[in-house]
Structure 1
């Protein structure tokens, strides 16, 4: 299964929170830099490419698989809802599956009672014939505009610690030392470990 991001999430940590954490006293000249650090720290742990193996801010993902099975476990919880399910027919054209055909059971997608999955055509040259588009992430009200994130506080604090580490260590080389990457600290890993999902 391959999962791609269709709609990326909004930041789950705000400039104001980072400003307070870094004690910048609202220095707007630093805002652009701090927001880039927030984005980098969040990207490191969020979504399909992230260390946590889960979705943080509300985002639309698409799981691409070779065919239907009884239960399809969707990665990157928390799962909010299913947007659509498509499959490619024998000519490679997408066919929408009737939403009455399936149900979401926590993070597993399966057939509704008395229903069965359609049989995708053998479309030559394409292994990802089934496309499941879904929304995942922490949100108080996923249909609100704008969506307010409801990310657990330990995850937000870990992002702020990572931002602080990058703020204070702006380079990967210390003067007079061997080149080393700035790692995710053990404190951050310990805070995030209870939330980590191995997909």
Structure 2
């Protein structure tokens, strides 16, 4: 886990129960809670600061903490960055300040900081999303379909194979079809 970034507001699910019923051919309504847990597990395994992809998928709020400013908004980890929500820093005298973040995209001309770890804190919204047209305070996930399919495939595999090991079959670290779908989105750090 990245110590510089923490999740302030987790993303809402971007694969629904209805999606899973269709993809996994699941008919039992009594399985809904279990299947949603599997979807959450697959999503968490891929998404955000702890995820395999090294990027944010569903819209979420992250907080970057450092001893200095990043160079640019695009340098904030686990993008895509949608917007900067707040920026705070501690000056060389030890006083805390906030920065107006409207239209903030560049950090190259920022005030001096003391330089201790955590002296710069930037909250930002990241992930694949758009603002709700009816309510500008809400965001809707628009996660690329290959990632949605990969989450459904993983959750379905786990649903159908409930044991940690399957005897008599080959074992892959990551099922080939899932890896093929998500590999183009992976960011290596």
Higher mean alpha-carbon deviation, 44-53 vs 136-145, is at 136-145
Matched residue, 1:172 = 164
Matched residue, 1:159 = 151
Matched residue, 1:83 = 85
Q: By how many angstroms is 1:49 displaced?
A: 0.7
Q: Distance in 2 between matches of 1:30 and 1:197?
A: 34
Q: Distance in 2 between matches of 1:144 and 1:181?
A: 46
Matched residue, 1:117 = 110
Which runs of no fewer than 5 residues in structure 2 stay unpaired?
A: none
Q: Please give the secondary structure, in 2, of the residue aligned with 1:134.
A: strand
CA contact (8 A) 1:140 1:150 kept: yes
CA contact (8 A) 1:172 1:182 kept: no
CA contact (8 A) 1:172 1:181 kept: no
CA contact (8 A) 1:90 1:120 kept: yes
Q: Please give the secondary structure, in 1, of the residue aligned with 2:104.
A: strand
Q: Please give the secondary structure, in 2, of the residue aligned with 1:140.
A: strand
Q: By how many angstroms is 1:183 displaced?
A: 3.5
1:127 lines up with 2:128 in the alignment: no
Higher mean alpha-carbon deviation, 131-140 vs 181-190, is at 181-190
Matched residue, 2:177 = 187
TM-score (norm 2): 0.85
How large is the RMSD of aligned CA atoms in angstroms? 2.6
TM-score (norm 1): 0.81
Q: By how many angstroms is 1:197 displaced?
A: 1.4
Cα gap change, 1:128/1:28 in structure 2, threshold over 3 Å: closer, same or farther?
same
Which runs of no fewer than 5 residues in structure 1 stay unpaired?
A: none
Q: By how many angstroms is 1:196 displaced?
A: 1.0
The residue correspondences of 1:1-199 to structure 2 (distance < 5 A) are 2-25=4-27, 27-68=28-69, 70-71=71-72, 73-89=75-91, 94-99=96-101, 103-104=104-105, 109-111=106-108, 116-121=109-114, 126-141=116-131, 144=136, 147-174=139-166, 183-199=173-189
